[in-house]
Amino acid sequence: MNYKSDSQDKALSFNIVEIQECQKNRFPMLFVDEIYDVFPGKSAKGKKCFSFNEWFFPVHYEDDPNVPGFIQVECLVQTFIMTFLSFEEHRGKKTSFVNIDNVSFKKKIIPGHQLEIHATLDRFKRGIAKGSAESFIEGERACSADFVVAVPDILDQLEHRD
């Protein structure tokens, strides 16, 4: 497990079990296979390999299976939240969308594709994270979006201060 590093200058990586220790997503809603090159508070990269056995392919255009847009956005945000859930004090906390903006779909994703995701955290303050993520298939941009995500546990602590 790489996330216990004392230095934020060294990139961290997370396998599927370690990802689940950091975030609340589980099958069938966990859409990243690996998170790597994580610089907590700054950036993270992720991978998702889409096989024909994914639960959504048989129902999402049976004659032309492709990855639905909401799943592409989930891949992006699940990588994005690792930019701050990789901090020991935030591991395992729930997150909630506040805003999704500038969503763009550029490339059709089909069975057999491997999605590479790059996420950047622009700001994390008082339980609110702002940033963006983009994904690529074989070096070509597939999808991108800007996010505002809240950590309700942190917000609740701020509300109850005297």
CB burial class (10 A; 0-12, 13-18, 19+) of residue 103?
middle
Buried b (16+ CB within 10 A) or exposed e, 35-61: bbebbbebbbbbbbebeeebeebeeee
Residue type, 157: Q
The DSSP-derived string for 111-135 is: TT-EEEEEEEEEEEETTEEEEEEEE
Active-site residue flag, 118: no
Cα separation, 124 vs 37, whole angstroms: 19
Q: How far apart are CA 53 and CA 151, in angstroms?
A: 33
Tokens 């903006």 found at: 101
Annotated catalytic residue within 60, 90, 118, 160: 60
Active site residue ranges: 60
